[in-house]
């Protein structure tokens, strides 16, 4: 038998529990693959019967990585149901919270969660620190940390780790793997940046601690935001918007711009130049089927095209000349299927719109699978094989995320998206199609991060100007009492989370939650096959990729990481048996 099976379970340096199966053909390339969420959580069930004003605090705990975004979607869903409008300051502050999340999440993804797929830490020991300092000077002359001694110190720190035999945060990497291509000096540079960003990501979320009291999980509020605005109080308590905290946030925002310009983007370009093949692998559904709900409304309560800074739309079958309008309320447009997922619907073959959505678990070990019900050896795609549901837009599997947003932004001629994307492609001497790839996904995220860092500065300025003009309103409490609400109503809260299109749906009856459903970015990307056998974005993205050493399937990790998987978001209960620990199985 020439077919070889690879199982990566769990995939590490992601959030949550993901299993990937791949089959290698004769030529060493992947010919089949399956994506499985191996964890279930019951948050949608927990919400039934609760006060809609509290929902944000529960759903925010879906995930500690994308922190506030579920809270934002939740307050929007409840406001939409009841008809609550928020004040201008609240809109700016919500955008500021979200832009902060984008910056932190994107830099942490690139450095802490995926850079080591491309960067060989052990090779950095062979680098000449002088050469590294020269490269740093050349690629980002404004970066303050470019001295030879600085890089030598970092090299010595890594050397001590390696000599001790305990690589700590760098343990179990694929060091010395034949698919690693960076020269030692560039590896050392990237290791330095890994450590710098680890520090900076902590600094940037201080914006959350000022505006939301803490991070992760800053506080939100139905009707506005929970942080008091008081320009006359400058005691610097840290949880109030005043002159001191505004100035502090402005300084952090400027530092974010510096890190993205002088560290993140140059590193993306360096990796792009050493790994040209990775603009060919990992396409998934990028440029084919892409979906975004849009976000960052510049005008409070206005979710029209004109107001949304990240555009909404759907692209189907690779036709970038037509961007379809997306209506998440339309039962014909958004549906979740469970034919390959461990859930039960009255009719297993039909999809349900989230307002009518059901979350009822039904675990079964599909016939033909190998292993046991709690310790899988090989799953078959014919039966149920994941805790992730399978959402569709008008029946189509869709890719969501930074790359989908970039594609939609280009198709809709949004200048702040299209121009930087085309400029970068030109600089790298690549056609547009190259963007629909593993490295295209990383580049799209880096460009989006630069945009978000710039918005941070703008939003701090907007907030300062609006407060100085005399507006200190942070919340609209007119609809706080349930007696003022319609007896029955339903709403949807749409967001662009760092990983893509996010929707929370609520149904309210007599002041209590009758139903709650979250359809989350990683659910779109990591879903199992459709009932017609069509593969999801993750599953498709691996097909055709060569794997140099099946015992160390770095290539699989590279592409799966490019989506920035978050399984807590996607599966929103832990399997009571616990999860299988790291097994890479090859036969």
Total residues contacting Mg ion (rule CB under 5 A)? Answer: 1
Considering CB distances under 5 to 8 angstroms, the limit depending on partner class, which of Mg ion, ligand NFE, none binds residue 191?
A: none
CA distance 473 to 33: 52
Q: Does 188 bind Mg ion (CB under 5 A)?
A: no
Q: Using DSSP, how many helices (H) and how many strands (E) does the chain show? A: 17, 15
The reply to whether 449 sits in an annotated binding site is no
- Here the tokens at position 356 are 């009518």
518 binds Mg ion (CB under 5 A): yes
Of the two residues 69 and 323, which places its CB atom closer to ligand NFE in the complex?
69
Answer with the entry of ligand NFE, Mg ion, none that 522 interacts with (C-beta below 5 to 8 A by kind).
ligand NFE
268 binds, among Mg ion, ligand NFE, none (CB under 5 to 8 A by kind): none
Binding site for ligand NFE (CB under 6 A): 15, 63, 65-66, 69-70, 497-499, 502, 520-522, 566, 568-570
What does 66 bind: ligand NFE, Mg ion, none (CB cut-off 5 to 8 Å by kind)? ligand NFE
d(CA 499, CA 401) in angstroms, rounded, equals 5
506 is in an annotated binding site: no
Q: Is 416 annotated as a binding residue?
A: no
- Residues 6 or more apart whose CB falls under 8 angstroms from that of 169 comprise none
Q: Give the distance between the most distant pair of CA atoms in the chain.
A: 76
Q: Which residue in the block uniquely carries the two structure tokens 């009856």? A: 509
Nearer to Mg ion, 124 or 518 (CB): 518
Residues contacting 506, CB < 8 A, separation 6+: 52, 55, 74, 77, 78, 81, 490, 491, 492, 493, 513, 515, 516
The SS3 assignment for 496 reads strand
Q: Choose the contact partner of 557 out of Mg ion, ligand NFE, none; CB within 5 to 8 A by kind.
A: none
Check residue 408 for interaction with Mg ion (CB under 5 A): no
Residue nearer to ligand NFE on the CB measure, 71 or 127: 71
The residue (of 184 and 357) whose beta carbon lies closer to ligand NFE is 357
Taking 3-state DSSP, the helix, strand and coil percentages for the chain, each rounded to the nearest 5, stand at: 40, 15, 40
In the region spanning residues 198 to 217, those forming contacts with Mg ion, defined by CB under 5 A, are none
Please give the Cα distance from 9 to 23 (Å, whole number).
Answer: 15
17 is in an annotated binding site: no
577: annotated binding-site residue? no
Tell me: is residue 396 an annotated ligand-binding position. Answer: no
Encoded tokens for 509: 């009856």
Q: How far is the C-alpha of 251 from the C-alpha of 457, rounded, in Å?
A: 9
- What is the C-alpha separation between 60 and 348, in angstroms, rounded? 30
Piece in contact with Mg ion (CB under 5 A), picked from 55-63, 511-519, 538-546, 575-583? 511-519
Smallest separation, CB 388 to Mg ion (Å): 9
Identity of the residue, 15 or 117, whose beta carbon is nearer to ligand NFE in the bound complex: 15
**Stretch of 82-90, 102-110, 281-289, 515-523 lying at the interface with Mg ion (CB under 5 A):** 515-523
**CB closer to ligand NFE out of 14 and 265:** 14
**Measured torsion, CA atoms of residues 233, 236, 238, 239, in degrees rounded to the nearest 10:** -10
- The piece of 71-79, 218-226, 301-309, 518-526 that touches Mg ion (CB under 5 A) is 518-526
Task: Kindly give, in sequence order, each residue whose CB lies less than 8 Å from that of residue 165, ignoring residues fewer than 6 positions away.
Answer: none
Nearest to 542 by CA among 32, 37, 17: 32
Q: Is the CB of 187 or the CB of 536 nearer to ligand NFE?
A: 536
Q: What's the min distance (Å) between Cβ of 518 and Mg ion?
A: 4
Distance CA 151, CA 218 (A): 36
Nearest to ligand NFE of 246, 568 (CB atom): 568
> Ramachandran region of residue 193, left (φ > 0), alpha (ψ -120 to 50) or beta?
alpha
**Rg for the chain, CA atoms, rounded:** 24
Q: Which does 445 bind (CB under 5 to 8 A by kind): Mg ion, ligand NFE, none?
A: none
Which residue, chain included where needed, has tokens 């343990």? 171
Structure tokens, 201: 């990501």
Site residues (CB under 5 A) for Mg ion, limited to 535-574: none
Least distance (Å) from ligand NFE to the CB of residue 570? 5
Closer residue to ligand NFE in complex, CB, 155/522: 522
63 binding partner (options ligand NFE, Mg ion, none; Cβ < 5 to 8 Å by kind)? ligand NFE
Nearest distance in Å: CB 323, ligand NFE: 22
Is the peptide bond prior to 216 cis by the omega test (within 30 degrees of 0)?
yes
Shortest-Cβ-distance residue relative to Mg ion: 518
Q: How far is the CB of 72 from ligand NFE (least distance, A)?
A: 10
Smallest gap, in angstroms, from Cβ of residue 120 to ligand NFE?
Answer: 28
The three-state secondary structure class of 408 is helix
Contact region for Mg ion (CB under 5 A) — 64-72, 229-237, 276-284, 516-524?
A: 516-524
Specify the 3-state DSSP secondary structure of 57. Answer: helix
Q: What is d(CA 187, CA 124) in angstroms, rounded to the nearest whole number?
A: 5
Phi, psi of 534 (to 5 degrees): -70, 135
Of the two residues 59 and 315, which places its CB atom closer to ligand NFE in the complex? 59
Footprint on this chain of Mg ion (rule: CB under 5 A):
518
Please give the annotated binding residues, written as ranges: 44, 63, 66, 566, 569, 572
Please give the annotated binding residues for Ni(2+), written as ranges: 63, 66, 566
């Amino acid at each position: 038998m020439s077919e070889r099976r690879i199982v990566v379970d769990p995939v590490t340096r992601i959030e949550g529990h993901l299993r990937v199966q791949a089959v290698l053909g004769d030529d060493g390339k992947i010919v089949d693959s399956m994506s499985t969420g191996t964890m279930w959580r019951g948050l949608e069930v927990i919400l039934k019967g609760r006060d809609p004003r509290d929902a944000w605090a529960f759903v925010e705990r879906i995930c500690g990585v994308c922190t506030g975004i579920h809270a934002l979607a939740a307050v929007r869903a409840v406001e939409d149901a009841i008809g609550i409008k928020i004040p201008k300051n609240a809109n700016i502050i919500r955008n500021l919270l979200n832009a902060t999340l984008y910056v932190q999440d994107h830099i942490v993804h690139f450095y802490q969660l995926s850079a080591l797929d491309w960067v060989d830490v052990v090779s950095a020991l062979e680098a000449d620190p002088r050469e590294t300092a020269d490269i740093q000077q050349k690629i980002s002359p404004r970066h303050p940390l470019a001295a030879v001694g600085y890089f030598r110190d970092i090299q010595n720190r890594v050397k001590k780790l390696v000599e001790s035999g305990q690589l700590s945060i760098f343990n179990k990497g694929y060091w010395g793997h034949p698919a690693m291509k960076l020269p030692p000096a560039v590896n050392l540079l990237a290791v330095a940046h890994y450590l710098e960003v680890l520090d900076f990501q902590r600094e940037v979320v201080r914006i959350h601690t000022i505006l939301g009291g803490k991070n992760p999980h800053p506080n939100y509020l139905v009707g506005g935001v929970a942080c008091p605005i008081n320009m006359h109080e400058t005691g610097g308590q840290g949880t109030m918007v005043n002159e001191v905290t505004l100035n502090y946030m402005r300084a952090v925002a400027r530092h974010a711009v510096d890190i993205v310009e002088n560290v993140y983007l140059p590193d993306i370009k360096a990796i792009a130049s050493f790994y040209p093949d990775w603009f060919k692998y990992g396409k998934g559904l990028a440029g084919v089927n892409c979906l975004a709900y849009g976000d960052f409304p510049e005008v409070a309560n206005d979710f029209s095209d004109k107001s949304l800074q990240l555009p909404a739309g759907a692209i189907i079958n690779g036709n970038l000349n037509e961007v379809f309008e997306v209506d998440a309320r339309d039962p014909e447009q958004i549906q979740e299927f469970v034919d390959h997922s461990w859930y039960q619907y009255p009719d297993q073959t039909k999809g349900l719109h989230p307002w009518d959505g059901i979350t009822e678990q039904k675990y079964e070990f599909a016939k033909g699978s190998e292993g046991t019900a709690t310790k899988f050896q090989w799953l078959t795609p014919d039966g149920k094989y994941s805790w992730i549901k399978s959402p569709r837009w008008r029946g189509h599997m869709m890719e969501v995320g930074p790359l989908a947003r970039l594609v939609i932004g280009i198709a809709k001629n949004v200048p702040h998206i299209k121009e930087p994307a085309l400029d970068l492609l030109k600089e790298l001497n690549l056609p547009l199609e190259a963007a629909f790839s593993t490295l295209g996904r990383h580049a799209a995220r880096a460009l989006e991060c630069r945009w978000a860092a710039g918005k941070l500065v703008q939003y701090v300025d907007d907030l300062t100007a609006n407060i100085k003009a005399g507006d200190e309103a942070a919340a609209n409490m007119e609809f706080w009492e349930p007696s003022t609400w319609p007896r029955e109503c339903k709403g949807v809260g749409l967001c662009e989370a760092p990983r893509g299109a996010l929707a929370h749906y609520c149904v309210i009856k007599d002041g209590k939650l009758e139903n709650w459903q979250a359809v989350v970015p990683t659910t779109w990307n990591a879903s199992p096959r459709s009932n017609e056998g069509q593969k999801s974005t993750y599953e498709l993205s691996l097909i055709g990729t060569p794997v140099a050493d099946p015992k160390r399937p770095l290539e699989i990790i590279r592409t799966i990481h490019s989506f920035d998987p978050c399984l807590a978001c996607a599966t929103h209960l832990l399997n009571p048996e616990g999860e299988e620990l790291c097994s890479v199985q090859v036969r």
